[in-house]
């Protein structure tokens, strides 16, 4: 009698098939029309621009920017357990865009 170890391989195969379902494939298609990125001054950015884009100016015209930016995941890490604000521009010297230990300021 020989024992084969197909359990892990079978599990990987089944997991792979899960990701090839039509819903997963369809989710790769763009669901939002293309829009021009805008800078903090509201002007459309060119491909060669070195200025950062503004999500508020780019998306805020059609989407409720205040509601999005006050959401749980957006604010995660902004405060500690007691509710004190713990963000800092000097939180991580190696990655200066990280403003907190949570998700706040990371994306």
Output the tens digit of pLDDT for each of the chain's 107 residues: 555 555 666 666 666 555 555 555 556 677 888 899 999 999 999 999 999 999 999 999 899 999 988 887 777 877 877 888 887 778 778 877 777 777 666 65
Contact indicator for 61, 68 with CB cutoff of 8 Å: no
- Cα gap 105→86, rounded to integer Å: 12
pTM as predicted: 0.50
pLDDT of residue 1: 52
Neighbours of 67 (CB within 10 A): 9
pLDDT of residue 43: 96
Cα-based distances in Å from 34 to 30, 31, 45, 93, 99: 9, 9, 14, 35, 30
């Amino acid at each position: 009698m020989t024992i084969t170890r197909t359990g892990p391989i079978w599990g990987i195969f089944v997991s792979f098939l899960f990701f090839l379902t039509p819903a997963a494939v369809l989710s790769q298609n763009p669901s939002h029309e293309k829009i021009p990125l805008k800078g903090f001054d509201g002007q459309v950015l060119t491909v060669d621009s070195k200025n950062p884009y503004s999500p508020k100016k780019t998306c805020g015209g059609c989407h409720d920017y205040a509601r999005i930016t006050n959401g749980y995941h957006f604010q995660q890490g902004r405060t500690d357990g007691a509710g004190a604000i713990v963000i800092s521009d000097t939180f991580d010297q190696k990655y200066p865009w990280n403003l907190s230990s949570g998700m706040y300021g990371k994306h």
